[in-house]
């Protein structure tokens, strides 16, 4: 996970050094539905919904030390915060969405392959 940008050491400290607890929460990440919601909102051009899903995903990823997902989600939030649909840079949002999907699925694969 660390070689893919996760901050395991800092996150373990947040979990008071309890690796078993951390791994239990990492495993639950596989059940997270925020990306699914973000993609659905995106398809419907519901940018407020995209913002809300990205904001929730940012929190989950931040708590788990999944920095690439956190950072991209934060960029999406910054891009959409306080914007009307007509003011959204849709090309940039499309780019970030692709990066988010790639990072998200990369970590899902790592978790699944390693039975974390």
DSSP H helical segments within the chain, as ranges?
8-14, 19-28, 34-43, 47-64, 67-80, 90-113
pLDDT digits (tens, 9 = 90+) for 25-46: 999 999 999 999 999 999 999 9
What's the DSSP call for residue 55? H
According to the model, what pLDDT value does residue 3 have?
87
104, pLDDT greater than 80 = yes
Q: How far apart are CA 39 and CA 11, in angstroms?
A: 27
Q: What is the three-state SS of 86-110?
A: HHCCHHHHHHHHHHHHHHHHHHHHH
Roughly what angle, to the nearest 10 degrees, separates helices 67-80 and 47-64? 150
Q: How far apart are CA 19 and CA 46, in angstroms?
A: 38
């Amino acid at each position: 996970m660390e070689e893919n940008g996760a901050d395991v050491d800092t996150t373990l400290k947040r979990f008071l050094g309890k690796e078993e607890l951390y791994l239990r929460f990492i495993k639950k990440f596989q059940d997270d539905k925020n990306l699914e919601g973000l993609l659905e909102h995106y398809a419907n051009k519901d940018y407020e919904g995209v913002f809300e899903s990205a904001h929730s995903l940012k929190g989950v990823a931040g708590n788990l030390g999944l920095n690439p997902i956190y950072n991209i989600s934060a960029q999406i939030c910054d891009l959409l915060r306080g914007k009307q649909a007509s003011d959204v840079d849709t090309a940039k949002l499309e780019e970030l969405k692709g990066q988010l999907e790639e990072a998200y699925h990369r970590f899902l694969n790592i978790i699944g392959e390693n039975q974390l």
